[in-house]
Structure 1
Amino acid sequence: MGGVDGHQRLGSAEKYKFERNQWTMIAPMTSQRSDAGAAVLNGKIYITGGFNGRECMDTAETYNVDTNEWTLIPAMQTGRAGASCIAYHNCLYVIGGCDEWVERLNSSEKFDPTTNHWSRVVDMYNPRSNFAVEVLDDKIFVAGGFNGVTSIPQVECYN
């Protein structure tokens, strides 16, 4: 979903058919973006933030696999690229990343699809972008990443 072709940001998206070992195009996103976060929540694919070639984006959208349609959801509170995204407790969490000044973020926010609203969650200790995120034992773990100067060896946990 999205990316860069060497010259411009992309709005295209593809799906993979395992049984056929084949990629096919799906409907394009509403925005061209690279460096976005993505996760699956309640059977829908969400893509958040990213970079459009000019600025870090606060927009987010969701893909309905049944209708092959992308729909914008409310904008995040902070534009961010290189953030990690994960589904947790029926909400979508967007964590860290960097802002339009390429400053790494320690902030996070969550989207509740039942209220269609974003809200802030507690900050991480270390600002970071381009890191791994996973849910384990009902907690969100973030690991590694980049703080703007060097790699981050610390792991943090949110519960």
Structure 2
Amino acid sequence: MKIARFVATVGGVGHLRPAPGTWGSLVALPMAAVLHLIGGPWLLMIAIIAAFFEGLWATTQVTRWEDDHDPSHVVIDEVVGQWIALLPLSFGAWHVGASIFALWPGWIAAFILFRLFDIFKPGPVGWADRQHTPFGVMLDDVIAGVLAALSVMVLAALAHGVLGA
């Protein structure tokens, strides 16, 4: 149970207040940067998949005896969702041979958009959240991450295509 709690809270980050989900998303940023620097977008993708299944296991263990299906201290789901939101930046930097840090506006957009989708839970994000299962806990952040990633790609296309920046 200690390992599950460690994973679910991302080493205790989930116990930070206020807004533990935001802290979980923030800690995901340097983690994603390190993963990208070591192995590019491919390692980040592998980490997303591994963290999803590890998070599903940990969330199942941690919530097994709790009434709350999605306790605020469980933030591994935010890490997974935030990494998904950052994936277009990792692929973009890798594709053009740029430093991942040169895409800092995209990092800000990915962070803000993911948090907005995660907090407000539009459409499919809310549907996944209402499943009240460990899978739903993980899935709502995956969907929020995908929506944020798509939004980041649209913003990048507008900035680099339409605006010519």
Same fold (TM over 0.5): no
Which structure has the highest helix share of the two?
Answer: 2
- Greater RCO, CA 8 A, separation 6+: 2
The two structures have a TM-score, normalised by structure 1, of: 0.24
Which structure has the highest strand share of the two?
Answer: 1
